[in-house]
Copies of this chain bind each other. A is one copy, B any other.
Amino acid sequence: MNKFFFPESIVIVGVSEAEDNLGQNIILNLANFGYSGKIYAVGPKGGQVMGHTVYPSVLDVPETADLAVILAPARFIPEIITQCGIKGIKLAVIESAGFREMGESGKRIEKDLLTAANLSGIRFVGPNCMGVINTQNGLYIQFIALPSAFKKGHVSVMSQSGGIGLSIAERLQQPGLGLDKFVSMGNKLNLDEADLLAHLIKDPNTKIVYCYLEDFKRGKEFADLAFQTNKPVVLHKSNATPLTRTIAKSHSAALAGDDKIVDAACSHAGIMRVTSTEDAILAIKGFSMPFLQGKNLAILSRSGGHAVVATDMCAEYGFNLPKFHSSILDETRKHFRAGVINIGNPLDMGDIFDLKIYPQIIEKILQQPDIHGIVYIHVSHMLMEKKDTIQLMKRLAELTYQYKKPIVITIEVPHSFYPALMKESMYPFLMDPVEAFKALTFQYQYTLYRQKTEHTVEKTVFPLKENVKSWIKGICQKNRQPLLHEALDLLDRLRIPTAPWRMVTTFAEACEAANEMGYPVVLKVVAPSVLHKSDQGGIAINIKNVKTLEEQWKDIHSRFKNIIGIVLQKMIFASREIIVGAKRDRSFGPAVLVGLGGIMVEAMQDVSMRLAPVSENTANEMIHKLRGARILGPFRGMKIANRQAVIQCLVKVSQLMHHFSEILEMDINPMILSDDGNVALALDARVICSTATET
């Protein structure tokens, strides 16, 4: 696959002498940006273009090539690929559009194209894409004439949209950043996001991967790759709303999937998800600095106002501002001009006019062990400071690497300073204190994630497998979805605690069960036709004696037909409820979720989701991330809830989903948490199985 980026020879298919021929732009770009390999042009009309003979077909090219770049009408491309195969070409970039995005006829062409490629053993990028760039060897094969080569750097871009990819590449021209490799993935008919990520995380020049996607072809594989690498992956996954359906269809055949599972996958794999190119660049800037090893910052600013804004952000993003050692304060005070500013952290440096003093103070702060990073806001509006500003930036870049602590620099200077700054600075800077904290937060989240995953690679040992196997066998024989008592039975087999329950079919059995477990009890009808028990009046709660039991028993039987039985359950009182759920996604596989329960809180839709299986640590983090998590702590006279039971429940459900693909969905709703903090009991459950047999 390396030849995609380092081909020694290229065949360009779709070149003609016509003035508006786009194939010419490919040759032009290669020539302009220094590609030194061989170039062969192909086009049915022949002729000469920029000194290259245009061969009528691929078969006419005098020798084989490492890569074919194809920009011919869609309907010809399967045949062209076959010819490439005959010619011994193994890799292709298909830039033409006109495939599945144009409906049925395009889909048929895609099928033919795949067949042709498979027969010839050709792997290809596209179709419907802007091609590949490698800044190292001048490989620019875009069908538009680019104005200049991109700055070389450490970021590689893989994008399902060529336009978005180029927008990112443009922004990578900023100081301290730069582009290494670029792939416009288009329809991802052959090489997809997992193939390309696999390549880029192994690529020695790529330190950070940016990825723009509109759908996932192999989500689980993509997440697993990001999980394994220690290179940051920044993901912009758009197409999150049904509104995008028209455009996504027209441009790369993607449809909106379940967006929450993308968040779950990102949390799982430490992928930084962003929703704009601007935020993507902030994340990339964050990842291009030394990494923060703790939450303690120093804020330095030449403007008190900017220091206040930065401190607001410091609080908002959860960082701390420890006190400076007195030696730092003394050093600073020494250089004050008018002595009209109080000093501390944040530090208003507005009274120090000589920019050469700044690195001295900043270095002292970097030496303070309990400070992990610096946010420095450089405010300079004086013409005479332009040169000194550039010198200062250079010195700060040296210091940040020397002390391996990030100095996040925000620049607030006149527009006229920028051209020189952009040209001479080798270290990223931000445009606003808010941006500085966003960049810092992206990188710190990643540090935390990396620290964590080193210790908690998910275990998938599942000692209860046999219990579940026999349960699934039973369900399969019945050839219908599991009913309430069967779902509760599954929980019992998983040793997830349930409120005492018994499936009864006669009133005598019901009395016996109620006496055994003690009143009050609850009745829940079990019948294949009853989907929403409570909405349909299939539940009777708080039954306190045998008399009421009999009344309710009769009532339920009078109102429902085809009753298989009734689940009689101990009535349990508790103020706190949670929901545990699981589902299986086409692209990402199984996922589990936890949310706060109860009707009032359900309206808030406060849930967190992760890919299954989850470890205890991850389950704990899921609960912690709930907006209303403090309800589970000591709260309003209630003791801390039995979180451990919830964690165990999540882990078990996640392992169930991981090991048994027959289970498509599952809900435990509610699991109640006693006020005394002792127990967590599932009251109700629902399971949906596929008809698939056990694997």
Contact = CB atoms under 8 A, between A and B. Distances in A.
Interface of A: 20, 73-74, 96-98, 101-103, 128, 142, 144-148, 159-167, 170, 173, 212, 214, 236, 238-244, 246-252, 254, 275-279, 299, 301-309, 311-312, 314-316, 321, 338-346, 348, 350-351, 353, 379, 381-384, 386, 412-417, 431-435, 535, 575-576, 596, 598-601, 603-604, 606, 627-628, 630-631, 635-637
A238 B382 contact: no
B344 A432 contact: no
Given A167-B379, A600-B601, 16 more contacts: A20-B353, A98-B339, A148-B414, A148-B416, A161-B306, A163-B303, A165-B305, A214-B308, A238-B309, A240-B315, A241-B314, A241-B316, A250-B342, A251-B304, A604-B604, A604-B628
Contacts of A303: 161-164, 167
Nearest to A382: B144
B241 A311 contact: yes
B637 A535 contact: yes
A145 to B, nearest CB: 5
A346 B241 CA distance: 13
A305 B342 contact: no
A36 to B, nearest CB: 22
A165 B414 CA distance: 13
A384 B20 CA distance: 13
Contact of A97 (B309, B340, B601): B340
Contacts of A306: 161, 163-164, 167
Nearest to A173: B415
A384 B416 contact: no
A340 B212 contact: no
10 contacts: A96-B340, A144-B381, A145-B383, A161-B304, A162-B303, A167-B412, A170-B413, A242-B315, A247-B304, A277-B432
A422 to B, nearest CB: 8
Copies of this protein, total: 2
Given A144-B381, A163-B412, A214-B305, A101 B341 contact: yes
A237 to B, nearest CB: 10
Contacts of A147: 381-383, 386, 414, 416-417
Given A311-B241, A381-B144, A432-B277, A342 B601 contact: no
Contacts of A383: 145-147
A304 B98 CA distance: 14
B170 A338 contact: no
Contact of A241 (B159, B160, B315, B338): B315
Contact of A631 (B170, B243, B603): B603
B603 A600 contact: no
A490 B610 CA distance: 51
Contact of A309 (B164, B345, B353, B415): B164
B599 A627 contact: no
Given A167-B412, A276-B432, A381-B146, A340 B308 contact: no
A135 to B, nearest CB: 15
Contacts of A173: 415
A232 to B, nearest CB: 21
Nearest to A166: B381
